Structure 1
Amino acid sequence: MRISEHFADQRAALHKEAQHWLLRLTSGAATMQDARAFEHWCGQSRAHVEAFAETRRMWENLGPAAQSWLAHEQIKTASGNVVALPRTQPRMTRRAFLGAAIAATAALAVVHPPLQLWPSLSDMVADYRTGTGEQRDVDLGQGVVIHMNTQTALNLRKAQGRVVGIDLLGGEIQVKATADATGPVPIFAGGGRIDVGVQARCNVRCYGADVQVTGLDGAITLNYSGHSAVLNTAQQADYGSGHIGQVTAADIEMVMAWRRRVLIFDGQSLSQVVEEINRYRPGRIILANDDLAARKVQARFSLNQLADVAALIQDAYGAKVTSLPGGIVILS
């Protein structure tokens, strides 16, 4: 085998391993052991780090490509431009096969974007959405105002041109029904319904299968899986997995902090802190130390200082920081 072929084989093997790591880290099932193993893999050589960076860039480039491909397919379907194929088809060429594979991979990347590098398919077609670190205010008229936090997507339910409900696909919102509202404003999230009474206001977080609702003003009614609960000012409840949790007192300052572009943590574990911070900054912070992940945190971060948060954690807890391309940081 020639030297050039040997290096080409090594490069291909590294990229295959990099793809494995990208898929593993974005599977939702990655463990602390995975994070430590990934750090060890990256530490083997600069070529390993470069292979991962190139793989990640490939995924980034597939995002726009996938959107274009899906739009093209939708246009063909809508126009009825479907070409009947003869019974006997010639063998697919290698170029055609690779093109189909790239299109299929791109479509999958749109539905399940790795590391949330771009919006998912449901986010892209949402009526309103915010990107990483972005916040947005939406006045729907009819006495309804929505404040959207980072990585949030929602659709509007309409009837006869009027908004009759809000579908929270994911993320965090505050909704206020003013005196001009004609009745309670329904929010649909995580399989449940949240009714915001006239002149009432609430905060709703929907990440994954669980939903957290906080009453900020007035009366809020929850209906989920045959159960119901009423929240008054400064009360909070979670629902998911078929039941509504106990109504408890809420720390309004902490719940409202994101509106002031501040994150407040009071006794949460560092793993919970990092999970929240990852919603606001590009890339990903990965904890690779169980003891470090369990440390309790008392902290207040401005959203404007999150670029330096790894250094702050390093100073506070003596964590080892490994920075990788694309904003990926490993704390161990």
Structure 2
Amino acid sequence: MTISASAFPRESSLSPKMCEEAMEWWLEMQEANFDSPAQAAFMAWRSEHPLHELAWEKALALGEQLDSLRTRGDPNLARRALLLPSDEGLSRRRAIKGLALLLVAGTGAWVGRDSEMVSRITADYTTGVGEQKRVALASGLSLELNTRSAIKARMADQRWHLRLLSGEVLIDTALNPAPLINTAQVRVQASSARFTMRQFDNGSTQLAVYRGSLEVIPTQASNRTALQAGQLARFGPLGMLDQRAVQASAPAWTEGMIVANGQPLQAFLDELGRYRHGHLGCDAALANLQVWGTYPLADSDRIINAVAQTLNLDVQRFTRLWVNLRPASANV
């Protein structure tokens, strides 16, 4: 039974990723080869999380609006605008991103002029799924954005002010005065440092320092924390949540790699899922299997196959949007 959107009192809890997935499914259904396995995968996605149903209802509503374009002169206008290859017009990835933003906007995320979604649309630098980007803001200040990231950058009072809106960024700075870097949870000052800042969906910010030191102030507290090279810490708006050592000299993703050091399988798949569209998961009984290895991010399907082979698992691919690992004994 379809759940009404009115059953969800907080539509703003819809994430951009959920909306991207909903629009991916909507686009998939426009294809002629949307067969029974694809339909089963789609239904599994809808039932995976209550908010997926809400995202799908929003996608349908937006799809109806797009369909109305077909009655205005060119019946294939909406479809062509969405599916043209990048060298002929709007790419599919960019279309999905734009449509997902429309979905989130429709849920009330644009209520305030300073909302994160408005800020993301007007971000100075962004990356899509699986994309990375390097930016030299000034001599002595460079950024490298990881997948699904957005950041604002401006100069004010002779100082750089950065705000990470989503995703993850590697910042390398040797400027004076020190740039100020914010997220929703922390304010960071770094005069000479190389570090990553990552914004999690659960409302926390992670900082990992590879060179130099940082001064960190939670947004809703006055206490200051100094982080030194070799330290990693996660913060909420009221203070530090946990801290541990960083063993590497640089984040693996900047070298095009993903590393697992005994990570639980589900946690590894969640991390890998940041670099691809759709659902990537495993049967619940497999969630705590340990994963080891260093893998190139350029081909996530090869990583999935390699992990499955090492752990003696089967890979279920219903569509390119739904991939699941299960015990090999489940083969029929």
Instruction: Give the alignment's TM-score, normalised by structure 2.
Output: 0.63
1 CA distance for matches of 2:153 and 2:162?
5
2 CA distance for matches of 1:51 and 1:62?
23
Question: What's the offset of the Cα at 1:52?
Answer: 6.3
Question: What's the offset of the Cα at 1:240?
Answer: 1.3
SS in 2 for 1:218: strand
2 CA distance for matches of 1:222 and 1:295?
35
Question: What's the offset of the Cα at 1:257?
Answer: 1.0
SS in 2 for 1:320: strand
2 CA distance for matches of 1:48 and 1:108?
26
Instruction: Specify whether residues 233 and 107 from structure 1 end up closer, same or farther in structure 2 by C-alpha distance, changes over 3 A only.
Output: closer
Do residues 49 (structure 1) and 38 (structure 2) align? yes
1:293 to 287, 295, 304: 287
Structure 1 alignment gaps of length 5 or more: 1-12, 20-25, 29-44, 70-103, 113-119
Deviations for 1:212-257, whole angstroms, at most 9, x for unmatched residues? Answer: 111111121111122221112111211116221454321224x521
Structure 1 counterpart of 2:222: 226
Give the structure with the higher percent helix: 1
Question: Counterpart of 1:176 in structure 2: which amino acid?
Answer: D
1 CA distance for matches of 2:252 and 2:42?
34
Greater Rg over alpha carbons, structure: 1
* Structure-to-structure mapping, 1:1-332, within 5 angstroms: 46-47=35-36, 49-50=38-39, 59=59, 62=62, 107-109=102-104, 122-141=119-138, 143-159=140-156, 164-178=160-174, 181-197=175-191, 199-208=192-201, 209-224=203-218, 225-240=221-236, 242-253=238-249, 255-287=250-282, 289-332=283-326
SS in 2 for 1:308: helix
1 CA distance for matches of 2:259 and 2:233?
19
Question: What's the offset of the Cα at 1:291?
Answer: 2.5
Please tell me whether the aligned partners of residues 266 and 281 of structure 2 are also in contact (alpha carbons under 8 angstroms).
no
Question: Counterpart of 1:126 in structure 2: which amino acid?
Answer: A
2 CA distance for matches of 1:109 and 1:128?
20
Instruction: Specify whether residues 228 and 320 from structure 1 end up closer, same or farther in structure 2 by C-alpha distance, changes over 3 A only.
Output: same
Structure 2 counterpart of 1:79: none
Structure 2 alignment gaps of length 5 or more: 6-12, 16-33, 47-55, 70-98, 108-116, 327-332
Please tell me whether the aligned partners of residues 310 and 329 of structure 1 are also in contact (alpha carbons under 8 angstroms).
no
Deviations for 1:303-326, whole angstroms, at most 9, x for unmatched residues? Answer: 123122332232122333221224
Root-mean-square deviation (Å): 3.6
Q: Percent identity?
A: 22
Instruction: Specify whether residues 106 and 228 from structure 1 end up closer, same or farther in structure 2 by C-alpha distance, changes over 3 A only.
Output: closer
Please tell me whether the aligned partners of residues 261 and 291 of structure 2 are also in contact (alpha carbons under 8 angstroms).
yes
Instruction: Specify whether residues 27 and 299 from structure 1 end up closer, same or farther in structure 2 by C-alpha distance, changes over 3 A only.
Output: farther
Please tell me whether the aligned partners of residues 37 and 319 of structure 2 are also in contact (alpha carbons under 8 angstroms).
no
Instruction: Specify whether residues 246 and 127 from structure 1 end up closer, same or farther in structure 2 by C-alpha distance, changes over 3 A only.
Output: same
Question: Counterpart of 1:243 in structure 2: which amino acid?
Answer: G
Deviations for 1:184-211, whole angstroms, at most 9, x for unmatched residues? Answer: 11110132111112x3221111122121
SS in 1 for 2:299: helix
1 CA distance for matches of 2:256 and 2:62?
32
Tell me how many residue pairs correspond in the alignment.
245
